[in-house]
Amino acid sequence: MSATRYTYLGPEGTFTEAALRTLPEAATRELVPMVSVPAALDAVRNGEAAAALVPIENSVEGGVTATLDELASGEPLMIYREVLLPIAFALLVRPGTQLSEIKTVTGHPVAQPQVRKWLRKHLPDAVWESAASNADGARLVREGRFDAAFAGSSRRRRTASKRW
């Protein structure tokens, strides 16, 4: 077993990575993003990692089904710690995009319920399509595949931004 490796639901830039980085020991571990909750937990089960951090619940939607299902099946795992991560979302767009131009929005499926009221108020006609993660949604906007993506940070970082 790699005692120095921790896995998490990736890719890099996810809330799960941000939560993992709040743990003091994360500074001395190799942090490895995984493509799914089962992959992160299986790395612990098969000895490739000492621990995994995966989302288990959010305050809006409740339990994260993929994690709960994975914990209920396969080799038993112990939950040793809970991390609470305050989250703030931002609507990411390419430079120059106006709110009235946004027709498509993406983000992780768990993010959608957390921003649905804002969407209903400000972008009632926008079409939502889920991305693998919020970080992936931002990449898809940069590539021009979507007009906007919801992503966020566990800490408030200010860059050039508009308030809608």
Nearest CA-CA partner of 154 in 35, 51, 60, 19: 19
Predicted confidence at residue 103, as pLDDT, reads: 98
What is the residue-level pLDDT of the chain in tens, covering all 164 positions?
Answer: 567 899 999 888 888 999 999 999 999 999 999 999 999 999 999 999 999 999 988 777 778 888 989 999 889 999 989 999 888 889 999 999 999 999 999 998 878 888 999 999 999 999 999 998 888 899 999 999 999 999 875 443 433 344 44
β-bridge mates for residue 128, sequence order: 105
Alpha-carbon separation of residue 125 from 18, 97, 119, 145 (angstroms): 32, 16, 9, 17
Q: What residue ranges define each of the domains in the chain, with the CATH number in brackets?
A: 5-72 (3.40.190.10), 88-153 (3.40.190.10)
Residue spans of beta strands (DSSP E) within 10-126: 30-34, 51-53, 57-58, 62-63, 88-93, 104-107
User: Letter for the amino acid at 55?
Assistant: P
User: Letter for the amino acid at 75?
Assistant: E
Predicted confidence at residue 1, as pLDDT, reads: 55
Task: Give me the sheet containing 148-153, strands edge to edge.
Answer: 88-93, 148-153, 104-107, 127-130
Predicted confidence at residue 31, as pLDDT, reads: 97
Predicted confidence at residue 83, as pLDDT, reads: 93
